[in-house]
Amino acid sequence: MASRSQDQTQNLRVLGTGRLSPAKNGPGAYLLESFGNCYPARMYVISIVFPEFTSLCPVTGQPDTGVICVEYIPDALCVESKSFKLYMFAFRNHQSFMETITNTVLDDLRVAIAPRWCRVKGFFAPRGGTRIHVFAEDFKQMSMEQDACVREAARAWKTEPCPHTVQPYAVV
């Protein structure tokens, strides 16, 4: 008999269903599912990298591609990875500037999981000879003591070299 973890899965609707089609209404926090953080007293960072991001320019309709990297310190909830993938897929036919996309992902994660800290990094492929990298960051309102702990954990993470966060489109 297999053992079970303490992970809370009762509210997940997408994982394990085989449904892979993205939402027809475009991206939104409603697509992001969550599960309970089993370690809410611990300051730890979750990093999710989506290396095949695509969207459309709102003016020309031309495709934009890039890598979206989300880093967060969870509070009560963590984002479920399959729902995150479907959320990212929802941008494929969505027209928006790169700056708006990066900030929208941050805002939607704040609504869906209310992390203690979250940073979204958008490394967009060059188009027209121009590279654009957009970083958006937010800290949740907390007590001074908790805020100091979260900021220290985020600062330590930012200085730690991580192979998956190396700029995929290096400036030469």
Active-site amino acid positions: 57, 64
First-to-last CA distance in the chain?
Answer: 55
Question: Pseudo-torsion of CA 97, 68, 37, 32, nearest 10°?
Answer: 50
Distance CA 95, CA 164 (A): 27
Distances (CA, A) of 95 to 27, 55, 56, 66, 79: 11, 6, 5, 15, 24
Distance CA 136, CA 152 (A): 18
Distance CA 73, CA 42 (A): 9
Residue 66 half-sphere exposure, CB side, CA atoms within 13 Å? Answer: 29
Tokens of 99: 């700056």
Annotated binding-site residue? 81: yes
Annotated binding-site residue? 79: yes
Annotated binding-site residue? 98: yes
Residues annotated within the binding site for substrate are 79-81, 98-99
